[in-house]
């Protein structure tokens, strides 16, 4: 697999040095197991909307189609495994919940571009107790890879 390391234009605040960004050019180079953990960590921190999951992949040089493909695969998996629930909110403040999305509606909602942007009703993932247990079990196994991925 072809990987290139470049340096970000912004400096890392704690060290005053340039932060490396790994540029990956192929969908197949992405470790979906690691991205699954990254998405669960995102939910644990308080996911502001599913649009942010595509931003989590911003460090990789992927086509927009591949970013959405990865998000859809991982998001569908963590929803079907009951590691997160999908909730719909009135807006980006996430203060007024409209509904908890039933699993049977997931495909329909993800096929609608309206739900992928932060200027409409917001779909947000919420970590479940099962998701917390999954993180507690899996994070130690992948700690080094996760630290590398998030640094």
Structure confidence at residue 11 (pLDDT): 36
Beta strands in 70-112 (DSSP E): 84-89, 97-100
pTM of the model: 0.78
Give the model confidence (pLDDT) of 16-71 as tens digits. 565 555 555 678 889 999 999 999 999 999 888 898 888 888 888 888 889 999 99
Structure confidence at residue 10 (pLDDT): 38
Torsion of CA 118, 122, 49, 51, to 10 degrees: -50
Give the model confidence (pLDDT) of 49-62 as tens digits. 898 888 888 888 88
Return the half-sphere exposure (C-beta side, CA atoms, 13 A cut-off) of residue 57. Answer: 28
């Amino acid at each position: 697999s072809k990987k290139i390391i470049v340096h970000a234009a912004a400096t890392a605040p704690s060290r005053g040095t340039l932060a490396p960004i790994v540029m990956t050019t192929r969908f197949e180079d992405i470790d979906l197991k690691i991205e699954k953990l990254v998405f669960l960590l995102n939910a644990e921190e308080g996911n502001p909307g599913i649009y942010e999951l595509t931003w989590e992949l911003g460090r990789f040089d992927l086509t927009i189609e591949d970013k959405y493909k990865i998000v859809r695969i991982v998001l569908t998996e963590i929803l079907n495994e009951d590691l997160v629930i999908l909730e719909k909110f009135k807006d980006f403040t996430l203060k007024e919940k409209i509904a908890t999305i039933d699993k049977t509606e997931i495909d329909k909602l993800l096929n609608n571009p309206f739900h992928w942007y932060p200027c409409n009703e917001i779909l947000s993932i919420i970590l479940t107790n099962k998701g917390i247990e999954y993180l507690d079990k899996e994070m130690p196994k992948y700690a080094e890879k996760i630290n590398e991925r998030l640094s």
